[in-house]
Amino acid sequence: MPAYHSVFLDEPNQQIIGNFALLPLRTKTRGPAQQLQQLTDTTELDIEPSHTAYDPLDEILSLFRANTFFRNFEIKGPADRVLIYGILFVSEALSKIRPGMSRRDAEKNVMNVALDNNFAIPGDAAFPLNQAFEPPRDRNEAEVLRQYIMQMRQELAARLLNRVYADGSGQPSKWWLSFQKRKFMGKQL
Amino acid sequence: MAPQTPAVVMDNGTGYTKLGFAGNDSPSFVFPTAIATKGPAAGAGGSGSGRPAVGQKPSFLTGGAGPGGHLSAKRGTEDLDFFIGDEALGAAAGPGYGLHYPIRHGQIENWDQMERFWSNSIFKYLRVEPEDHYFLLTEPPLNPPENRENTAEIMFESFNCAGLYIAVQAVLALAASWTSSKVQDRSLTGTVIDSGEGVTHVIPVAEGYVIGSSIKSIPIAGRDITYFVQSLLRDRGEPDSSLKTAERIKEEFCYVCPDIVKEFARFDREADDRFKHYEVQQPGGRSVTVDVGYERFLAPEIFFNPEIYSSDFLTPLPTIVDTVIQTSPIDVRRGLYKNIVLSGGSTLYKDFGRRLQRDIRHLVDARIKASEARAGNQAKSGGLDVQVITHRRQRHGPWFGGSLLGQTPEFRSYCHTKAEYDEIGPSIVRRFALLGGPGST
């Protein structure tokens, strides 16, 4: 059984830039992503994939721990690229949290990364996975893609912090921090 | 000679030796297959480099037999200065003794040491007179006949034992599974998955005979699981991440889960229930607490997803088992799928058998479906029964199988006796009648 794939691979009517899918997100940050409704009947910690508001970011966080053990990953479609990018970003965000750091400090560090406008998107020379990701066709598309990824980054960072600080002790979970050194597909952002 | 003495069952493995009497429930002794002799340890090399003190005697004392000759010709008092098993580990920790492992990869590599190991096993541990007992020894699959002859020479000429039978470990493991309620017909056809400390073998057996050409081995076994647990402990910066701690955690806490993503989610939900603590007593008298987490289900997962641990071996165990059966003769495949038997310490994880059965069944069903589709859905397959047998004797499977077969009334008629050996010579042990085969039990 190889690494886990995205459940959104078969999602109809995907908006695609390059070969990266712009799937609907459940977020309040502004951007090009189609908005899903906020959760009312369940929490983001135990949402099921069958829920209508389940978004790729939920999936990224639930697959992150399992998939980081794998070095090989066969990309089966645009939704898998969202998954890859998300997992690599979670790795990066996680590496900014130190053991024993308070939630406030961790939030500052992680949000710094998430809000930094200077990140590489597919097609940029600094992007690590250019063999697998196609560049956007023009400047317009590139700008939309950048904004979408920006939305992903911010929302992911917020949800990651919720998970790492889930136990209410004010300390980051050592179980999450133990994944800091693992590299999904041997890559990092 | 008392006719009713129980047979002695000796299962000498690479890691551990299991000693006992036929008819018993469990071996009387289980200890490392290690011998400590005077002189330096046998480095990393095999038989040649680490010859014991004996080998340094001038050649005229060895009776011209050369260094490979039998110990009986050159036995001096210093040869009696050795320890085996746990005592050997203890002696080697002190000065003056070197530790040797006479069996490597399941096969005997150093006959001098093995002879001494056996003599201590018989006289010091079991405390029996070999003249009064029949012996049942085990061998790995594909053991060369010359090794059997050497074994017979030692058993008959040095120890003068009454009778000898040498059985293949995998066949005995099949016999051990007869104790499971899932086994209805006591056949000797099945696939044995034998996973010990060093290596995992998948061995197809048809009617008591090993199908040598289809055997596959996997470089993932108990030791790798220990290393993997250790690396996870280190990632987390636990206060104690010694191999010993990792091994204890592996043995006490690990289990096989159906799906790792779901299992991660379960750890999030039932944190108090799933995360465990393990208390380690450190040498200085201090004790530290190590948290036990995801390694509980991730460690045995390397059988099913080797990729998470190793970068050069990637084939999951269920796929290997399927390949082994598919490369076996077509008329035994059904029997091989129906009777997949586990054996050895690394198969003891909870739900190991269940997961293996599920994964193999998926592979088989997918293939049947594909071939039905190729046939234009005109012919329907009746399906194929995949069954993995988990039983209570897995840990010492081969030994227990030996104990089971060694207590049958016919056992002695299958052995070669000392008289037959004297008549024909060592070549007699090249062939044994099949013990426990059709019509014998």
For chain B, give the mean pLDDT: 88
**Is the model more confident about B133 or about B72?**
B133
Chain B nearest-CA distance from A72, in A, is 8
Cβ distance B307 to A66 less than 8 Å, yes or no, reads no
Q: Which of A178, A181, A184 to mutate to test the interface with B (most CBs of B within 10 A)?
A: A178
Q: Is the pLDDT of residue B65 over 50?
A: no
Q: Which of B231, B260, B277 to mutate to test the interface with A (most CBs of A within 10 A)?
A: B260
Element (H, E) at B388: strand B388-389
* pLDDT at position B437: 60
Cβ distance B268 to A45 less than 8 Å, yes or no, reads yes
Cβ distance A1 to B314 less than 8 Å, yes or no, reads no
Taking CA–CA distances from B304, the nearest residue in chain A reads A1
For residue A86, give every residue at least 6 positions away whose Cβ sits within 8 Å of its Cβ, in sequence order, or none.
A56, A57, A59, A60, A64, A152, A156
E strand segments, B230-385: 276-281, 287-292, 340-343
* pLDDT at position B3: 57
pTM, whole model, 2 decimals?
0.87
Cβ distance B261 to A63 less than 8 Å, yes or no, reads yes
Q: Is the pLDDT of residue B440 over 70?
A: no
- From chain B, pick out residues whose CB is under 8 angstroms from the CB of A182: 235
Cβ pairs A/B, distance under 8 A: 53
CB-nearest to B293 from A3, A166, A175 is A175
| Closest CA relative to residue A122, chosen from A24, A20, A9, A15 | A20
Chain A nearest-CA distance from B261, in A, is 6
CA B380 to chain centre: 41
- Confidence bin at B171 (pLDDT 50/70/90): very high
Q: Pairing mode, if any, of strands B35-38 and B82-84? A: antiparallel
Taking the C-alpha atoms of residue A85 and residue A146, their distance in angstroms, rounded to an integer, is: 13
Q: Is the pLDDT of residue B75 over 80?
A: no
Condensed to tens digits (0 to 9), the pLDDT of residues B95-149 reads 888 999 999 888 899 999 999 999 999 999 999 999 999 999 999 988 999 999 9
Rounded-to-5 percentages of helix, strand, coil across chain A:
40, 5, 55
- Determine contact: A186 vs chain B, CB below 8 A: no
Condensed to tens digits (0 to 9), the pLDDT of residues B243-275 reads 999 999 999 999 999 999 999 999 988 888 999
Structural contact between residues B339 and B387, judged by C-beta atoms closer than 8 angstroms? yes
Condensed to tens digits (0 to 9), the pLDDT of residues A7-37 reads 999 888 889 999 999 999 998 888 898 888 8
Condensed to tens digits (0 to 9), the pLDDT of residues A124-176 reads 889 999 999 999 999 999 999 999 999 999 999 999 999 999 888 889 999 99
DSSP 8-state class, residue B155: I
- Determine contact: B297 vs chain A, CB below 8 A: no
Give ipTM to 2 decimals: 0.92
* pLDDT at position B105: 82
Chain A nearest-CA distance from B345, in A, is 24
Condensed to tens digits (0 to 9), the pLDDT of residues A36-80 reads 888 888 888 778 888 888 999 999 999 999 999 998 899 999 999
Tokens for B421, please give them: 């050996």
Q: Is the pLDDT of residue B41 over 80?
A: no
Tokens for B356, please give them: 């293996």
